[in-house]
Homo-oligomer: A and B are copies of this chain.
């Protein structure tokens, strides 16, 4: 019995061999579940230093019984692509090793998302020790950066908050429709976003029947990504005021975004503009006027749902953007990036 997927129908074509580094966290596990059902990929090995010798099923009751090995023993020559699910700073030496071995790499940490070592130092308060790789690293948001990802050997998978926020803002930034170069993002995230390490913050009794803001204002590290990519889209610096809240759910991020716009459009016009912008996209769902995005639109999918509501009599537009933080916000997007890097249909394994 294969608890996740039968490979029977997948043997006709050569399978892509993947290696997962840091498999014991929530993103590692989710990625393995996705790849186990991918028609063209297989997991060749998965690493965990803490749980070396065990299997993924020891950690997650519904996961496949994949053996966990030490990264030191991982046979790099036997994989076609690597995923790094390590914490930031831990990722840098591993990615260096992978790139020296010429393994195409998708890094889910923050280590290669920022263009400059200075920005990294400023936001992450750690030295960047793999600056030689920064020029080749591509920010892996396929809807904004597809061509570069197709040619990339190192993809920096975006953070969960930036994914939902940037997809919501991109059309308006590209069109230059902001009345002022600042946006307010009021975001709410499920607890899996805080990782699997037990802490008082993630204790059931502290989260349940509660809602907690954290890193209020201009302090959360994901702001660095949002502002960097927003500036590229807008052609000018954009200031992001950001208030994340810890929500008593396991999965999902909902971002309520407040912007002032230069052009008074109706709800229908905004929806049309966004539907045109995302006409070719499989994973962006622009809701009809009057509908509002919720976590239930996106959980357990690779989709981003976006709703648009102009505030009558004002220049304010309210966007609501939802993603599943473990799928489009992490492992699903990583698989989407893999598909692009390897020339496959972007949607494989994600529908």
Interface residues of A (CB under 8 A from B): 1-6, 8-9, 26, 37, 39, 60-62, 182, 184, 186, 188, 191-192, 196, 198-200, 202-214, 216-218, 239, 241, 243, 245, 247-252, 254, 256, 258, 281-282, 285, 292-301, 303, 305, 307, 309-314, 316, 318, 320, 345, 347, 351
Residue of B nearest to A61 (CB): B297
Among A214, A247, A314, residue most surrounded by chain B Cβ atoms (within 10 Å): A247
How far, in whole Å, are A347 and B7 apart by their CA atoms in the complex? 12
The answer to whether A204 and B216 have CB atoms under 8 Å apart is no
Contact A296 B203 (CB under 8 A): no
Given A198-B203, A217-B318, A296-B62 in contact, is the A303-B210 Cβ separation under 8 Å?
no
Interface SS majority for chain A: loop
Ranked 5 nearest A-B pairs via Cβ? A198-B198, A61-B297, A186-B186, A217-B311, A191-B204
Is A297's CB under 8 angstroms from B203's CB?
A: no
How many Å lie between the Cα of A137 and that of B182 in the bound state? 42
The distance in angstroms between the C-alpha atoms of A62 and B210, with both chains bound, is 12
Assembled-state Cα–Cα distance A285/B26 (Å): 23
In the complex, are the beta carbons of A1 and B213 less than 8 A apart?
A: no
Cβ 8 A contact of A258, one of B8, B202, B241: B241
Name 13 extra pairs, CB < 8 A, besides A1-B285, A214-B292.
A3-B285, A6-B347, A61-B297, A186-B243, A186-B256, A204-B204, A211-B252, A211-B254, A212-B295, A213-B293, A217-B311, A217-B316, A248-B248
Whether A62 contacts B316 in the complex (CB less than 8 A), given A198-B198, A213-B294, A285-B3, comes out as no
* Oligomer: number of copies: 4
Q: A61's contact among B205, B243, B305, B311, by CB below 8 Å, is which? A: B305
Which B residues lie within 8 Å of A60 (CB)? 296
Q: A239 to B315, alpha carbons, bound, how many Å?
A: 12
Which residues of chain B come closer than 8 Å to A3, judged between CB atoms?
Answer: 285, 301, 303
Contact partner of A320 among B192, B200, B216, B295, CB < 8 A? B216
| A344 → B minimal CB distance (Å) | 12
List residues of chain B with CB within 8 A of the CB of A345.
6, 8
Q: How far is the CA of A254 from the CA of B213 in the complex (A)?
A: 9
Q: Complex: how many Å from CA A247 to CA B190?
A: 12
The answer to whether residues A218 and B311 also contact, given A1-B281, A208-B250, A210-B249 and a CB cut-off of 8 A, is yes
CA distance A345 to B207 in the complex (A): 35
